[in-house]
Structure 1
Amino acid sequence: MTTSTRVSTPFSRDTTAMEVVRGIDLTGRRAVVTGGGSGIGVETGRALAAAGAEVTLAVRRLDQGQRAAAEITASTGNDRVLVAPLDLADLASVAALVATWDGPLHILVNNAGIMASPETRTPQGWEMQFATNHLGHFALTTGLHRALAAAGGARVVSVSSAAHLRSPVVFEDIHFERRPYDPWEAYGQSKTANVLFAVEATRRWGDDGILANALMPGAIRTNLQRYISEEELDRMRAQSGGGAAYWKTPEQGAATSVLVATSPLLDGVGGRYFEDCQEAGPNQPGTRTGYAPYAMDAEAAQRLWQVSEESLTAA
């Protein structure tokens, strides 16, 4: 189901998504990209379409998604770029997409997300970042399990972040009901959940031919940062170790997602964490790279899956 050696590729931090798919033929494959109407989601969808896949952009704003789809078709010549409504914070919206999906699904890129937002809750009382970044994607992916299994070798891409180093999943108070709300801790917790999901999905579904991996796309200036001040962005640039030069373009930011989704170098590989188009190792103290041990903890991954199932059942 998985291999034990760390995956190495000829790509780097500067590689673009189009460079990753060069020579890869996805004709006959079907893909869904959440958040495909903007940012790295558009570039992920574009690269998959350029390689011949049928791509569905699952978006909250249909007008934005339709513009993105038309632009991808114009730039790639692939007219099999579709748009579907999806609000990950609305379980009825997630269920509607699942209900309308027919046939196999070869690639699911769980890309959409919100970052460091003010304290907001769903009607269920869930903290919005955890609800959107994790629970919505959990409901979508488990809902599409049959379609993924029917593909015979499906890949699930879980877009995480180096921000997962900020917080484990705090099972005792996931939704900040007793602890003070901190937007970055909430974001970090949701991004840890994205990694844990890939670990447990691979364990549960590997025998169905479904493998899931998580990744850090890199620092990219997109609408994701709409809640963050310029001063805070400057601090983030400084922490990244090299100023503005270390910020990626959206085309570079989508490269690791596309690698995880398509590269034959990852055949048989699941439950791993990638950054800059390479499999990452454990985080070293004082750095912002690699994965936190708690994000790859098998027991925590199983617990999160159970908690997530219970949350959706109760909703």
Structure 2
Amino acid sequence: MRSMSKIVDVVAGTLIAADGRFLLGSRPEGKPYAGYWEFPGGKIEPGETPFEALRREFHEELGITVEAATPWLTKVHVYEHATVRLRFYRVWSWTGEFEMREGQDIAWQVPGELTVGPMLPANGPILKALELPAVLAITCAHEIGEDVILASLAEAPPAAVLVREPGYQMEELARFVREVSARVRPAGGKVFANADPAWLEGLPIDGVHLSEARLMAMDARPDFEWVGASVHGREAKEKAEALGADYLLLGHVKPTPTHPDSAPLGWDGFECRLAEGCPLPVYALGGLSSADLADAYAHGAQGVALMRGAWQ
């Protein structure tokens, strides 16, 4: 058995084009896993920040200069030759012309429609995170009425909707889920539902969302394509990771009517909860609007989850 070596810190970048496509590169001959596909990047050198390493690696490998990037996911992976801690960034803008300076290939890919392979093992799970949108809309029909939400969905269905109606019984929830799905899924959007997984079997949804209490009581991942969870502290975050969740909600970031007596995290507090890194995409939640998206990106979030703000 190979003895555990110290962790090697590596940075990797996901270039995001204006049309939503992302860039993959192949590993050149002479490197471990030659011919496998990955998100470009490399080892963080002593004295470098992750962003400095990202800019250097992209210039050395691809001849481009990274202009704007935000932290995203952090994943530790044990290879046969090394244990690496991968810090993934999303790269939003760059300058220069692509030059394959290591003899590698590159390919622009559409989320959910991979056409190259095989993927480097540590990079594979990142592909699913790329299928999630920047904004997750959460229903609150129990506050503003179903008609308001259904009319909004008919006019402009979001890319992802989480049905959360805590006062609904099973039959009532199933009816509303079907109405939401009929408006969102034909347009290519995803529908998740926050409820007992047993209630949701057979319904036209893409995944289940677990409250923190339900998450902590789970022994195994529910049998859905997508599983999300609400978390507040380290224990719940670690449980979600161990369970194999696909995304998290973390909040509340700003004051919200739902928690009038609870102090908000603020953006610094949100980032602090992710300080050690998280391998799962995390949506910032609580008192936010789409105008907060840039702040969410800057503090390591996947995007923002909007409840009342999604339907105004």
Q: Structure 2 length as normaliser, TM-score?
A: 0.33
More relative contact order in 1 or in 2 (CA 8 Å, sep 6+)? 1
Which one has the bigger strand percentage? 2
Which one has the bigger helix percentage? 1
